[in-house]
Amino acid sequence: MIEEEHPSLRFLRAERMPHILCEGCGNGIVVNAMLEAMVELGVDMEKVVFVSGIGCSSRIPGYLRFDSLHTTHGRPIAFATGIKLANPELEVIVITGDGDMASIGGNHFLHAARRNMDLLVICSNNYNYGMTGGQVSPTTPLGWRTTTSPYGNAEPPMDIARVASAAGANYVARWSTASPLQIKQAIKKALRKEGFRLVEVLTQCPTVFGRRNRLRTAVEMLRWYRENTVALHHAEELERQGVDLSAKVVVGEFADRNKPGLVRRLGLVREEEAEKEEEAAAEAVAPAEEDERIREARRRILEAIEKLSTPRVRRMIELGMDVEKIEEELLK
Ligand SMILES: Cc1ncc(C[n+]2csc(CCOP(=O)(O)OP(=O)(O)O)c2C)c(N)n1
Ligand code: SF4
């Protein structure tokens, strides 16, 4: 009954409950948005593989009724690349955290985006290493406290969405858990595209990050996101007006391109797709060939008219010679 009302629930492994995530953890919102996106698109479960690294966020695939690979810290993109190249028919989805993807896995992330590798990467960015007790991560904002930055983070953070976009990813979006509908829409859009697609979700980690930054509950953290995120198009306008947005987080779509993914560049597209492409290419060529034939026929007709209009040919016609005979005479 409840599954009829919420079809995405059939993708959850109820037998694995209770899960390990804390009460109020933002990863629940990521799971919900992602499964809803898959239900709405009618994604074939048999064609999806999840790959994750190590961290709270990386535990997500263990609760999903899909094939999945729980790999080593920082390496899910590398494993996922192998799976996709071995079987390009699969939709390979990486679930990762800011530590897993941008810190220890930074190189894999950068090069997968550069290659436009055909992967959907969903990065749950909670600004810290949640699973290991809340250490500083490459995305921790300046001045925020973590177990390893008790006086406030002094390192400028990495903007992973802009890095992915600059590296060449086909699709990049960032939303916070305060905007679950936008997360779902971004995942739906990303699932329809090829190449490297990053959906970064700013998630709340009240347990080890929020409480060190006076945001003790999930509600307070969600409120903070709502009040401190600015949509990309507004941010651009505000910056033009000279407004300082350094304390705000810009959200929105940072890249939406249609370049061929690495799988296509390597010629590994599915056979049926390749056939469709060939048919489309043939259709595109056919009118050009047709045009060429018509041009050739016109040229011959004009030539014939020209020949027929010469005094010599006119005389032959007057003498009653048939066409073959005239041609024979002309070729002599
Ligand atoms: C090679 C290696 N180094 C360090 C660790 C310890 N470790 C486990 S999870 C983690 C950080 C996870 O942070 P993040 O990816 O942001 O995920 P979160 O838990 O915040 O969702 C670290 C450092 C490990 N498991 N393996
Ligand atoms: S520690 Fe943070 S990220 Fe990990 S489950 Fe708890 S709230 Fe979520």
- Using CA atoms, how far apart are residues 125 and 27, in angstroms rounded to an integer? 10
- Using CA atoms, how far apart are residues 174 and 323, in angstroms rounded to an integer? 77
Give yes or no for residue 110 having a pLDDT over 60.
Answer: yes
Residue 115 DSSP SS3? helix
Could you tell me whether strands 91-97 and 48-52 are parallel, antiparallel, or unpaired per DSSP bridges? Answer: parallel
Residue in 129, 151, 150, 131 with CA at minimum distance from that of residue 139: 129
- Which residue out of 100, 208, 215, 216 has the highest number of ligand 2 atoms within 8 Å of its CB and is therefore the one to mutate? 208
Strand ranges (DSSP E) for the chain? Answer: 48-52, 67-70, 91-97, 119-125, 128-129, 135-136, 171-176, 196-202, 229-231, 249-256
- pLDDT at residue number 134: 98
Q: Read off the pTM.
A: 0.83
Residue in 3, 9, 41 with CA at minimum distance from that of residue 186: 41
Instruction: Give the angle 185-188-190 at the CA atoms, nearest 5°.
Output: 110
Residue 116 DSSP SS3? coil
- Which residue out of 59, 127, 131 has the highest number of ligand 2 atoms within 8 Å of its CB and is therefore the one to mutate? 131
Find all residues with CB under 8 Å of 23, minimum gap 6, and list them.
Answer: 218
Which residue blocks in 126-205 are alpha helix, DSSP H? 160-167, 180-191
**More confident site: 288 or 148:** 148
- Which residue's alpha carbon is at the smallest distance from atom 8 of ligand 2? 25
Could you tell me whether strands 171-176 and 249-256 are parallel, antiparallel, or unpaired per DSSP bridges? Answer: antiparallel
In tens, the pLDDT along 15-49 reads 999 999 999 999 999 999 999 999 999 999 999 99
- Using CA atoms, how far apart are residues 31 and 244, in angstroms rounded to an integer? 34
In tens, the pLDDT along 235-291 reads 999 999 999 999 999 999 999 999 999 999 999 986 666 677 667 666 665 666 667
In tens, the pLDDT along 48-84 reads 999 999 999 999 999 999 999 999 999 999 999 999 9
Q: Which two tokens stand for residue 105?
A: 């896995």
- pLDDT at residue number 291: 73
**More confident site: 317 or 209:** 209
- pLDDT at residue number 197: 98
Q: Quick check: 125 and 141 in contact, CB under 8 A?
A: no
134 within ligand 1 shell (Cβ under 6 A): no
Ligand 1 atom with the smallest distance to the CA of 54 is: 9
- Using CA atoms, how far apart are residues 278 and 262, in angstroms rounded to an integer? 19
- Tracing tokens 């600004």 back to the chain, one arrives at 127
Give me the amino acid identity at 21.
Answer: L
Could you tell me whether strands 196-202 and 91-97 are parallel, antiparallel, or unpaired per DSSP bridges? Answer: unpaired
Give me the amino acid identity at 31.
Answer: V
CB atoms within 10 A of CB 115: 20
Q: Quick check: 83 and 263 in contact, CB under 8 A?
A: no
- Tracing tokens 């699932």 back to the chain, one arrives at 191
Could you tell me whether strands 249-256 and 135-136 are parallel, antiparallel, or unpaired per DSSP bridges? Answer: unpaired
Q: 63 C-alpha to center of ligand 1: Å?
A: 19
- Using CA atoms, how far apart are residues 24 and 221, in angstroms rounded to an integer? 10
- Which residue out of 207, 220, 221, 222 has the highest number of ligand 2 atoms within 8 Å of its CB and is therefore the one to mutate? 207
